[in-house]
Structure 1
Amino acid sequence: MSVVEYSVKDRIASIVLNRPDKLNAINAQMRDELFRAFHDFEGNPDAWLAVITGAGDAFSVGHDLQEMGVPAGDSSGASIEDLYVLQSRIWKPVLAAINGYCLAQGGGIALASDIRIASESARFGWPQARRGISSISGPAMLASRIPLNHALEFLFTGDLIDAQAAYRLNLVNKVVPHDRLMAVVDEYAQKILQNAPLAIRGIKEAAVKGQALPLAQRVALGSEVFRRVQDTADAREGLQAFREKRPPVFKGQ
């Protein structure tokens, strides 16, 4: 039985973590299915953006601790590191609809997304130290998203914070009523889908790669991406539509 629901419709890839009875704890099967879903999304020309969320009352509470200490058997499956790296190289936009607990590895998957919308019932934390283990996404990702002292506070104490506190720390873009979460995420998606997908991907690529570069190299990268996107059918369509005072029809070409 699948533990990740994946589908593509109307240019949106839907990825749903589907172990609600386990609060979407991430086991080996879920890692493999998530990896395959993101891999398909990356190469699927019909999918222009992705929305990831969790079934039931949680986004994900992180690694399924029942797996820890159990011999892995066939170790050829995707690791959580593989998943984070794959997410980091996908230039299509990924929106996270955070519907409940978002902890540890679940927080890592959310942080690897581009826009994070949280239900008012969402809770965030990296409580691994309480179980005697370290964290990958906390030091690697959380510590670069918010002030280091706050990141270390969460990692040292294991305390959880609510959605409003996460918003104040810029962990999420918006907090919405729980029953409005998916509608608001769809509003964001539709706004993005109005724009040229190749331009969006170029913008994300330049912004993400540029984080590690000095200013001169960031400008050079931005210029290279600009020239690449400018030489597309969508760029020509956008300018033609502007001149003709009509909405553009982008095709991802």
Structure 2
Amino acid sequence: MNDTPPLIGDDAPLVLREDRDGVATLTLNRPQARNALSVGLMGALQAELDTIHQDSTVRAVVLAGAGPAFCAGHDLKEMRANPDRAAYESLFVQCSKLMLTVSRIRQPVIAKVHGIATAAGCQLVATCDLAYCADTARFATPGVNIGLFCSTPMVALSRAVGRKAAMEMLLLGDLIGAEEAVRIGLVNRAVPADRLDAVVTEAAGKIAAKSPLTLAIGKEAFYRQIELDVEEAYAYAARVMTENMLARDAEEGIDAFLQKRPPVWCGQ
């Protein structure tokens, strides 16, 4: 759970950042709005991720939410306040860029979900490289219930879970529990709420102990090969492994393994 009281008020940052032991934790900080993805919040998160991508000291990123929810999706009040085609187009382009950034920054990104994650909030969970949730967390793509099909969340959801499971969530719009989210592959594990911080910290710590170069190579390769057919994927992966073998960190890691000592990464 998030035990740290959120900073609330007009002057409070929309995204809180804490760095520790190579892990940057970014906390969505609109608890009064269930961390709905306003234009401002998406902009603040985009800026943090862009900065982290260039920061070689950060090995892993954790996304969390302040208050009772992880993220309730787009800010519907903000959207309805400006019912203009250009504004809607700009909003969804901004959101798509944000989701692509989560996938494309060099560091693995972990979603830590303690409460509801709905619509674009569910999209954010599906987009993250790993996701852990409290056993009380719930997930939904409920846009169909209000006449707005979750088309952009569908992109991430349909790539994270099976086709039938994705369509059931999209067509019914029902909340699903943590156990079901694990079963369909939306999240990696569901744990008791009082264990969530420890589980995420452990996973992020293990990632942060790896070669940052290897993590960046692997993450980029994963998302590129998954969109290729099998023959093209193997050809691409073979090229990636060849380049990886020529890296100093690969040489160090293999030598350390053969010599039965801990590796010392240089990030090259």
TM-score (norm 2): 0.88
- Confirm whether residue 97 of structure 1 aligns to residue 131 of structure 2: no
2:233 corresponds in structure 1 to 218
Once the two structures are TM-superposed, the CA of residue 133 in structure 1 deviates from its matched residue by 1.2
Once the two structures are TM-superposed, the CA of residue 203 in structure 1 deviates from its matched residue by 1.9
Q: Distance in 2 between matches of 1:216 and 1:91?
A: 25
Once the two structures are TM-superposed, the CA of residue 233 in structure 1 deviates from its matched residue by 2.1
Structure 1 residue matching 2:77: 3-state secondary structure: coil
Q: Which string of whole-angstrom CA distances, capped at 9 and with x for unpartnered residues, describes residues 203-238 of structure 1? A: 222221111112221112112211222222212221
- Decide whether the 8 Å contact of 2:158 with 2:166 is kept in 1: yes
Q: Distance in 2 between matches of 1:198 and 1:208?
A: 16
Stretch moving more, 58-67 or 81-90 = 81-90
Aligned counterparts, 1:109-188, within 5 A: 109-188=124-203
Q: Distance in 1 between matches of 2:248 and 2:30?
A: 42
Fraction of identical pairs, as percent:
34
Once the two structures are TM-superposed, the CA of residue 119 in structure 1 deviates from its matched residue by 0.5
Amino acid at match of 2:25: S
Q: Which string of whole-angstrom CA distances, capped at 9 and with x for unpartnered residues, describes residues 164-209 of structure 1? A: 1111111111011101111100111122222222112222222211
Structure 2 residue matching 1:172: 3-state secondary structure: coil
User: Can you give the 5+ residue segments of structure 2 that lack an aligned partner in the other structure?
Assistant: 1-10
Q: Distance in 1 between matches of 2:99 and 2:155?
A: 10
Once the two structures are TM-superposed, the CA of residue 162 in structure 1 deviates from its matched residue by 0.6
- Decide whether the 8 Å contact of 1:8 with 1:46 is kept in 2: no
Q: Distance in 1 between matches of 2:24 and 2:258?
A: 32
The ranges of structure 1 where at least 4 consecutive aligned residues each deviate by more than 6 angstroms after the TM superposition are 72-78
- Confirm whether residue 54 of structure 1 aligns to residue 65 of structure 2: yes
Residue 31 of structure 1 is aligned with which of 34, 42, 59?
Answer: 42
Task: Choose between structure 1 and 2 for higher RCO, CA contacts under 8 A separated by at least 6 residues.
Answer: 2
Q: Distance in 1 between matches of 2:102 and 2:153?
A: 16
- Confirm whether residue 8 of structure 1 aligns to residue 23 of structure 2: no
2:79 corresponds in structure 1 to 68
